[in-house]
Structure 1
Amino acid sequence: MPSTVVDHSPLPAHSPPPPPRGRRGNPWLTLVAVAFGLFMVGLDGSVVAIANPEIGRDLNASTADLQWVTNSYLLALAAALILGGKLGDRFGRRTYYMIGVAGFTVASVAIGLAGSIEGVIAFRAVQGLFGALLMPNTLGLLRAVFPPGKFGMAVGIWAMVSSVSTALGPIVGGLLVEHVSWESVFYINAPIGIVALVFSALVLPQSRNTTGHQRFDVPGVVLLAAGLLVVVFGVVKGETWGWSSGSTLGTLTVGVVLLLVFGWYETRVQHPLLPMRLFRSPALTIGTIITAVNFFVLLGVIFFVMLYLQNVRGFTPVEAGVRTLPLSLASVVASPLGAKLTEKFGARLSMPLGMVLQAGAAFGMLAWGVHSSYGAMWPPFVALGLGVGMVMAASSDAIVGNSPVKDAGVAGGLQATALQIGGALGTSVLVSLISSRVGSTLTGELTSAGVPAAMAGGMSEAKDAVAMGVSPVSGDMPAQLRAAVVEGSGQAFINGVHTAALVTGVLCVAGAVLAAVGVRRTPE
């Protein structure tokens, strides 16, 4: 039977770490070491989307198979992130960070060598499990070595690495797929991983929770993993099943119930996997919500922007990636700026400001059309990059900076879990919105573009392709008809983009209000 002793002690104040001895334990060398692993995971998360079409052609994979290339990784990652942070807190953050790097690297190479779509899917799941050991312990290691006065800036640089690696994925992936092979998208992790392991072995200090032997919360691990698996599965299948279908609502309900049971159980056990006392901090709680919103916006918007640039505008993956460079460059500036603003004024300023910038980016996309010039595109990219970078720095500081040092890994896992669930929701929900809007406007847009009404009605079956930005044209169509189909399909897709952008903008405004009203600056 679990103990019913509940920890009601207040959150301990931040205590500065001991001074570093030589290179091992040096805060800035620790930051460089964890940046290698973080960059590898961030890059991998966005390059796979570019490689998927080539994987499908080479391995004769169906669309459902390609979805599982992404979903198997996402499910494994989301289910194990908080566990990965807890293992690091208890048995050594350096140890589990390096195990994560090594396993992620080996799994990446195995994906390239798999030779079958089943093998790719299986090793992507393995990759996700090791990513769950790696990611939360990056922040845990930083929390353990940086004094409170410098932690905000360290988080800003951490956020910059995460944002830039994610945004660079389409460019790197496009170059590798076009000029090498889809396998090289995964092989590139090998040299990064080796460098990360060697450097980490030289500079990372060992840090762990020093409160003594504690019983490991196995029931909590099972309940949390099951709840997150079911919720994320419901999210990623919602687009296919329909968001109002019984299957989707039933799956999400089961997942939420499991998570509620987990939360109740954690208040009854003496040494919980996820201490519920952490949520007494409004900044930490709201930071977790805003982290999910932040990646809902980033990954959801990048997904449909890439469809627009490649399928509607006809750019190659590399050309599309280059055109999103303002997003990457803006995030480079915004992450340390957000950290400085958070350090000086608190997350109550920087978090809403970042959300407002993202809202501006989303509303700016309402002016896009089928033939918009690049001059209409880059301002929203800049605003989005500034907003994402600023929110990443502020929310990371709010979550990990407001947790005790002994729970730094768990807090890092909490943030990473919110990030992954938000990203999964962003991609699924926004694609679903685009698809719904395309379905309701496609026939009318085709007719307006000059397609005969009877033919336009028959093309409504192609709405799934049009929702991906692909026009339902064939080689035997007359040139004038072909142009009309392309124009009408493109306009229907843009209608969907406008709906997704509007919903995104409203969500960002709501996030800004929540952060401004709910976050209070924590006294020193």
Structure 2
Amino acid sequence: MEKAPQGDGGAQNPSPAPAKGLRGHPWLTLFAVAVGVMMVALDGTIVAIANPAIQHDLGATLDQLQWITNGYLLALAVALITAGKLGDRFGHRQTFLIGIAGFAAASGAIGLSDSIAFVIGFRVLQGLFGALLMPAALGLLRATFPAEKLNMAIGIWGMVIGASTAGGPILGGFLVEHVSWQSVFFINVPVGVIALVFGLVILKDHRAENAPRSFDVLGILLLSGAMGSLIWGIIQAGADWGWASGNTWGCLLSAMLLFGVFAYWETKVKEPLIPMAMFRSVPLSAGVVLMVLMAFAFMGGLFFVTFYLQGVQGLGPIDAGLHLLPLTAMMIVSSPLAGALITKFGPRIPLVGGMVCTAAAMFGMITLSEGTGTFAMSLWFALLGLGLAPVMVGATEVIVGNAPLELSGVAGGLQQAAMQVGGALGTAVLGAVMSSKVSSDFAENWTAAGVPGEPAPGLEQAAEFGMVPQELAQAPGMTPDMLDRIGGVIHDTFLDGMGLAFTVAGVVAAVAAGVAVFTKRGENAEAGAGGAHI
């Protein structure tokens, strides 16, 4: 298998000189960047548990709630690779600190917003600033740690991302129930201040010697347009347009055309946004695809789990978060184990095994119903955490380790961009699957339940969330029996849609297990053993 060319600056990377004092100390650097990365990773999932409260408070529709997540993930995905280049060119410390400050400010603005449009808009801004600090964090680690300890540092870095991603719903549940949904965003302000102070005191500037001197503006526009068209078309297909609509197909075909033009342009421009030569490495390409598919299944599925717990199971936000504790705990416990296995045996076997477990968990969650007990739910959530941990830890090593050293910022951005694109696609596609299934099954379930008359406006939308409207009990002529029947229709229809969504997620995870077969440790990742490269 051919590797991407290493270039002049990629052949050797001497270990950094030992740090004197606080600035540039490897383990303190790891701590400083972990605080910032934790904040961004949390925000990828912490909002999921707050979605029902946001929907009730601001009257959001399903597609608007999807854009609260997708606007953030899409902005991250589009900007990450460019942000990686900015770090390589102007210094990872500077871009990291700007990202921290902007992310905290955007978070505070979201908490002060009183309309869904402002929430979505500031979430996009939040994602753009988050993109600045994610690849910069990885660049700082690679510049600070000696070769023999870099694998361990990247493993801890990946563990922080995995644990933060999984821990979002628990922290979110506590904040939503005891404070407000706005506090989910306000909490980033003090955390951001702490990260900024540590960053100013501890982080040491680093710039890649062979970093690009110009930026591929057209490439940025083409990639942004392609991703935006793809996500927008999928969301609108499930929400308003339908899959047979000319608008839907126009968006999807535009996305494919823009992706094609982007790929062609990247082979012609002098300093491309994404050097296509990187993808000559089969393991690197497999790692990128694996991240997309893993995030598709995980983030897309998690979007519905929170509504299932609060709507169908009738749990409060904090109880819903606690029910996801097996997922979080298993990721935290198994991440170090996964790191050790990957270090000893290489990434292929742990990654394949992880995605098999993830697929099994997704197929298992198809069985979730109104009567499912805590033990059965915990079993599937724990299996999902066990499966995700190796991928969260190992994919970074696969992608960055198989990339040229002078493109470390780009590789770090590519790894995170793949995760954000997968999450946005998963939320959009599975949301569209859910909406289509609800639309096709609601009327049939209404008739089968023996409910007289036509359903009131808004009840079909309630079935997309699995939540019986509180005001339904006060409707004229509503009896307890009728309320139970209508509640049953809403819950059954939601479970039909969720079951189909988890089926799709399970198939995607199974495909990801096949893709993981093509991964392997790269030369840069093997530096700890051989000392030749980082």
Could you state the TM-score of these two structures normalised by the residue count of structure 1? 0.90
Q: Distance in 1 between matches of 2:229 and 2:444?
A: 39
Kindly state the Cα deviation for residue 230 of structure 1 after the two structures are TM-superposed: 2.7
**Corresponding position of 2:464:** 467
**Corresponding position of 1:482:** 483
Q: Distance in 1 between matches of 2:418 and 2:26?
A: 26
Q: What are the equivalent positions in structure 2 for 1:380-459 lying under 5 Å apart?
A: 380-446=380-446, 451-452=449-450, 454-455=452-453, 458=455
Counterpart of 1:269 in structure 2: which amino acid? V
Alignment CA distance shift 1:244-1:336 (3 Å): farther
**Corresponding position of 2:229:** 230
Kindly state the Cα deviation for residue 246 of structure 1 after the two structures are TM-superposed: 2.3
Query: Number of residue pairs matched?
Result: 514
Shifted more, 245-254 versus 417-426: the winner is 245-254
RMSD: 2.6
Q: What are the equivalent positions in structure 2 for 1:76-475 lying under 5 Å apart?
A: 76-211=75-210, 214-240=213-239, 241-446=241-446, 451-452=449-450, 454-455=452-453, 458=455, 462-471=459-468, 474-475=473-474
**Corresponding position of 1:19:** 17
Q: Distance in 1 between matches of 2:435 and 2:55?
A: 22
Shifted more, 96-105 versus 47-56: the winner is 47-56
Q: Distance in 1 between matches of 2:117 and 2:175?
A: 22
Alignment CA distance shift 1:153-1:462 (3 Å): same
Verify the 8 A CA contact 1:140 1:408 in the aligned structure 2. yes
Quick check: 1:495 aligned with 2:507? no
Verify the 8 A CA contact 1:447 1:488 in the aligned structure 2. no
Q: Distance in 2 between matches of 1:498 and 1:8?
A: 41
Identity across matched positions, percent: 46
Kindly state the Cα deviation for residue 503 of structure 1 after the two structures are TM-superposed: 1.9
Q: Distance in 1 between matches of 2:412 and 2:234?
A: 22
Q: Distance in 2 between matches of 1:460 and 1:413?
A: 45
Q: Distance in 2 between matches of 1:178 and 1:280?
A: 49
SS of the equivalent of 1:267 reads helix
Q: Distance in 2 between matches of 1:120 and 1:504?
A: 28
Verify the 8 A CA contact 1:143 1:400 in the aligned structure 2. no
Q: Distance in 1 between matches of 2:321 and 2:133?
A: 27
Counterpart of 1:348 in structure 2: which amino acid? R
Alignment CA distance shift 1:215-1:467 (3 Å): closer
Shifted more, 44-53 versus 127-136: the winner is 44-53
Alignment CA distance shift 1:326-1:64 (3 Å): closer
Alignment CA distance shift 1:498-1:213 (3 Å): closer
Unaligned runs of 5+ in 1: 1-6
**Corresponding position of 1:3:** none
Q: Distance in 1 between matches of 2:459 and 2:157?
A: 43
Shifted more, 498-507 versus 8-17: the winner is 8-17
Alignment CA distance shift 1:453-1:194 (3 Å): closer
Counterpart of 1:376 in structure 2: which amino acid? A
Q: Distance in 1 between matches of 2:244 and 2:42?
A: 34
SS of the equivalent of 2:293 reads helix
SS of the equivalent of 2:268 reads coil
SS of the equivalent of 1:379 reads helix
Kindly state the Cα deviation for residue 441 of structure 1 after the two structures are TM-superposed: 3.5
Shifted more, 139-148 versus 202-211: the winner is 139-148
Counterpart of 2:415 in structure 1: which amino acid? Q
Q: Distance in 2 between matches of 1:307 and 1:259?
A: 34
Counterpart of 2:291 in structure 1: which amino acid? T
Quick check: 1:34 aligned with 2:19? no
Counterpart of 2:450 in structure 1: which amino acid? P
SS of the equivalent of 2:333 reads helix
Verify the 8 A CA contact 1:443 1:460 in the aligned structure 2. no
Could you state the TM-score of these two structures normalised by the residue count of structure 2? 0.89
Alignment CA distance shift 1:264-1:147 (3 Å): farther
Shifted more, 252-261 versus 458-467: the winner is 458-467
Kindly state the Cα deviation for residue 521 of structure 1 after the two structures are TM-superposed: 4.6
Alignment CA distance shift 1:467-1:329 (3 Å): same
Counterpart of 2:184 in structure 1: which amino acid? V
Shifted more, 16-25 versus 264-273: the winner is 16-25
Q: What are the equivalent positions in structure 2 for 1:2-13 lying under 5 Å apart?
A: 9-10=5-6, 12-13=10-11
**Corresponding position of 2:532:** none
Q: Distance in 1 between matches of 2:458 and 2:181?
A: 31
Q: Distance in 2 between matches of 1:9 and 1:425?
A: 31
